[in-house]
Structure formats: structure tokens, C-alpha cells
Amino acid sequence: MSFNQVINKYNWNDIKSKIYSRTANDVEQALSKQYRDINDFISLISPAASAFLEPMAQLSSKLTQKHFGKTIQLFIPLYLSNDCNNYCIYCGFNKSNAIERITLSKKQILKEIEIIKQYGYKHILLVTGDNPSVAGMDYLKEVMILIRPYFSLISIEVQPLDTDEYKELINIGLHSVYIYQETYNKESYRKYHQGGSKADFDYRLETPDRLGTAGIHRIGIGNLIGLEDWRTDAFFTALHVKYLEKKYWKTKYSISFPRLRPHEGVFVPPYSMTDKELVQLICAYRIFNGEVELSLSVRESSKFRDNAIKLGITSMSAGSRTEPGGYSERIALRQFEVHDHRKPAEIVEMIKSQGYEAIWKDWDKNFFKLSKANTQTKVWQRD
């Protein structure tokens, strides 16, 4: 059974009604439990839970330190291409936007890497638009082979691929894949994605299943905050993670919180989320799932990111540029406006000032080889 079959058992409006009908008593019961299910998560993201932010924050912090310690993993995106065939009305890379399309050459990529390495990064996230004829499998393989001597961990955020394609990339060093459904509301999804391959809701929804089958180390998912009611989308995101954890239990999982930011075009988000509500959501995810990684990008303000350190966040980008060539030449239009412009060194100092440790590297390809060898000799055990 794929998650597509699971999600068809739920009705968007019914779930929304359940969320908005929760009471303070429901929230108190959820917080008092040692183990929580998806119904408890409904209570924690409900409007009724807004009166419980302080105990939620304290519990979230405690659970995060239990599983992750007082650490924040740092990562940085490298935008390779803004060429895209999709018509996503909320994105600066929308094919209908009259922007200069750029795909970095090997020389330009190495120039970007030179600067990124100076920051101290050992993890890299490769990002492209969705145009396989320009930045498809051949291009991705060439880039990964080019840059793998410089990084201990390579992640991608690109167009959905087939299972065999993911296996091929894993074999040359791919560690993590981030794939966001944007919204789990299938009816609304169509109006936001008006053309291109991304308009195929089902194929995109089944991407994490293909990744799990391929044996990827980490899958990152999430919904784009601002397209639909954030509480209802959060329910389906949480449901998706629990499904994946059960079916592909050897894989790690990450959830991100991308709130829509200004970009090229005239799209105005139909839904909003306050900082207080984002705090509630971060804490709700952590209380519901103590082991999932929670990531916060430079979409958020410096003030919010500073305060989020102790809430349950485990990874954070820093010094990010959201356009191809952004670190060295700044020659293209960015995908969205960055909100936190501080340099990586400044973020590291902020993290240290709060009693946390900034982690540049928590993974090495040799660890994977060791765990794979142990699996083959039946020494490896699940925690």
C-alpha cells in the first residue's frame, strides 16, 4: 500500500472540522500522555492548543535534547539551475515568469563551492528547477561526481525521479532527498500547479515511496505554508511521516516549515500563519514525534530563528542564496526572498551563545560502508 492509498481514506474537510473542534481538555490529555498518536497531534495543532504554548515549548525542548542533544546541524543550498517547465503560481521559477534562465557550468559550480567551503560547510543541498532536458539525470550525476570530493554529505531537492534513478544516484553518493508535496489538498493542488510535470499530484505524492524502496538514507518532506489551511496540511504531513517510518524504517526523516516569501510574480498567499502559530506547529511535531528532524530555513527572520533554537529545531540553513551563482556572481533571479541575511559565522556564534553546538558534519560515507558491512554480517541491529 502506498501513501496515495492511505490518504484517500481521509477527507480534507472532515479532518479540518476535527482540528477546529478540539477543546482544552483534549490538549491537556495529549500533553499528559507518554506516547501520542495522530489524534493527539490533531489536538496539539488545534486553536485550543494556542493557550498551552509554554508547556508545549518546555516539553518539546526536553524531547529534542533527549534524542538530539543540544546541537544544531548546519546546511546550505547550492542552486544549480532556475530553468523550469512548471507553472507553479507561487514560485519565482514559474515558467511564465520573464526571468533569465541559468544552469551553472562545472566551472561556475566549482567557483560556488570555493566560497561555500570557506564558510566551513561539509554538507551540501543541490537545488534545481524542473527541466530534465537541462538539469536532468545526466547533469545531476556529473555534478555529484564533480563535488563529492568536497563534501561528506550530498542532498538534493530536484524534480521527482523514478526508483531506478534514485538508486543510481545513491550509488554515486546521494545521501538525502527533500521533496515537498506543497499541499495535500488534491483539489486545490490543481489550481496552484497549472502545468508541467509537477501538476501530477499522484506521482509527486508517491515520490517518498520510491525513495524508501530505493534505500535512501534520509527523506525530507513538508508542505508550503500559505497555500491552504496550515493545520490541516500539517495533519497530512504528520500522517505521511508516520506511514513512511513504519514502512521504510531504515530511513531517517526530516520535516521543514517553508512559509511563503516574496518572489517574482503577483501571487498573494490565500492563507497566513503567525509566528506564534509556527511555534505551536514546531512544538506539536516534536511532541508527536521525538525522533524526526525539524529544519528551519532562512525564509524566517533572524529573531524568530534565534528563538526557535530551543523549541525543537535540529537543523538550520545559514548564509543561503536562492539563485544560481548567488554565492560568487549573483547573476540570476532568486527563487524567493531571504529573510535572515546573516553569515554562517554569525549563526554559529548565535547558536553557541544559547548553549548549543553548531554541527558542520555528523555523517561520513565511511559510516555508511561500515553499517552496510555490519548488515551483511548480521551484526547491525535496529534501535
Output the nine-digit C-alpha cell for 230: 496550515
Q: Is 216 left (phi over 0), alpha (psi -120 to 50) or beta?
A: beta
The domain in which residue 185 lies consists of 3-374
CB 330 within 8 A of CB 302: no
Model pLDDT, residue 371: 44
H or E stretch at 210:
helix 207-214
Model pLDDT, residue 353: 97
Q: Which is more confident, 86 or 330?
A: 86
CB 161 within 8 A of CB 170: no
192 located within any domain? yes
- Condensed to tens digits (0 to 9), the pLDDT of residues 297-349 reads 998 999 999 999 999 999 999 999 988 999 987 655 554 567 888 999 999 99
257 located within any domain? yes
153 located within any domain? yes
Output the nine-digit C-alpha cell for 93: 521559477
H or E stretch at 71:
strand 71-75
338 located within any domain? yes
Query: Which residues are bridge partners to 155 per DSSP?
Result: 125, 176
380 located within any domain? no
Model pLDDT, residue 339: 83
| Other CB atoms within 10 A of residue 132 CB | 16
Closest CA to 220 of 189, 185, 257, 191: 257
Closest CA to 130 of 98, 101, 172, 164: 101
CB 90 within 8 A of CB 192: yes
Q: Which is more confident, 142 or 372?
A: 142
258 phi, psi to nearest 5 deg: -75, 110
CA distance 371 to 366: 9
How many domains, the chain? 1
CA distance 103 to 332: 10
Model pLDDT, residue 365: 52
Amino acid found at 189: Y
CATH number at residue 361: 3.20.20.70
- Condensed to tens digits (0 to 9), the pLDDT of residues 222-272 reads 999 999 999 999 999 999 999 999 999 999 999 999 998 655 556 888 999
382 located within any domain? no
18 located within any domain? yes
Q: Mean of the per-residue pLDDT values for the chain?
A: 91
Amino acid found at 252: K
CA distance 116 to 361: 14
381 located within any domain? no
